[in-house]
Chains A and B, each alone.
Chain A
């Protein structure tokens, strides 16, 4: 059962100031002898203060300078990450726009250049029977150039988005 003692604060102050038991009056001594809460307080606080004094002597802290520089490096890294975050976002956006443009181009060609699909279907046959006459259709060159450009842009995007190892 919790029974707070009204003199607990007084006893605690004596222990914290290191005045227990020498500077405590006979009245306080008598109280601590009879009050279980205060007796517990004195017993535990004295044990912990002695452990505290031992622990303070035992430790040899690392250099403050080393920790200061570790914090500086971590701050720097965090700042670089904050700056790079929108750049990665922009790269992803550019890739998405390029893919959409490529899909749009293919869709447009599929709808408006049906002859192009016919030519693709006939390509295996043409390859075996005769040389394809590219010069006969001007749009064919345009198509090839667009394909090459698309491959070039895709390669460039992949190069930009992939993380390069830092030196």
Chain B
């Protein structure tokens, strides 16, 4: 049965939308927010995943989920920073879901030629998107470093985006930074030797 005629104003997407049924942003406010936040979000997703196309898909999905989320912060009430943090959190969760998702095809069914070609293409693309040092970091370390030093978020804000305890961020960030600094120095030394 088609009930759409009975829905002049569509409520929020989630089943528990009750309290926040009205959209938290109108289309003009959204356009402004998107203009200001889309590039940083894409940069974060691309640099953490190492895949520009995936970053594009996840960025779009993040905004759609942001608009549908009943509990998403409202720009006039909660401010732009809260909205951005919420958006980055959605993006981080989508990235994690993507990594956790089992691949549809069994590895036994894929020919070696396809695997080699796809791997090579991915490596070339990753090198273009990530610096060699970032490429050697774990995804969680990339997330931490990017949020802290590229986005300039505080430990509390990073904890909010990554869903971790704020107390653990300091140590994790310290270790990740030390590892990356080591890789950058090694890379510099290698470049110096080559020249």
Contacts and interface: CB of A to CB of B under 8 A. Distances in A.
Interface of A: 2, 4, 15-16, 37, 39-41, 43-45, 47-49, 51-52, 55-56, 59, 61-62, 64-65, 67-68, 70-72, 74-76, 78-80, 82-84, 87, 166
A87 B38 CA distance: 40
Contact of B64 (A4, A37, A61, A67): A67
A44 B150 CA distance: 10
B47 A51 contact: yes
- Dominant secondary structure at the B interface: helix
Contact of A59 (B34, B39, B67): B39
Interface in B6-50: 6-7, 10-15, 23, 27, 30-31, 34-35, 38-40, 42-43, 46-47
Interface string B129-150: 0010110000000000110011
B115 interface: no
Contacts of A41: 177
Contacts, number: 121
A47 B171 contact: no
Interface in B166-189: 170-171, 174-175, 177-178, 180-181, 184-185
Name the 3 nearest CB pairs between A and B, nearest first: A55-B43, A71-B67, A40-B181
Contacts of A45: 149
Contacts of A49: 149-150
Interface of A is mostly: helix
B68 interface: yes
A49 B63 CA distance: 24
A77 B35 CA distance: 27
Interface of B: 1-4, 6-7, 10-15, 23, 27, 30-31, 34-35, 38-40, 42-43, 46-47, 56, 59-60, 63-64, 67-68, 131, 133-134, 145-146, 149-152, 170-171, 174-175, 177-178, 180-181, 184-185
B21 to A, nearest CB: 10
Contacts of B10: 72, 75-76, 78-79
Most buried by B among A39, A43, A61, A84: A61
Contact of A65 (B3, B31, B56, B68): B31
B7 A80 contact: yes
A83 to B, nearest CB: 5
12 contacts: A37-B174, A40-B177, A43-B185, A44-B145, A44-B149, A47-B180, A51-B134, A52-B47, A61-B34, A65-B31, A74-B68, A76-B7
Contacts of B13: 71, 74-75, 78
A128 B52 CA distance: 80
A47 B145 CA distance: 11
Contacts of B60: 62, 67, 70
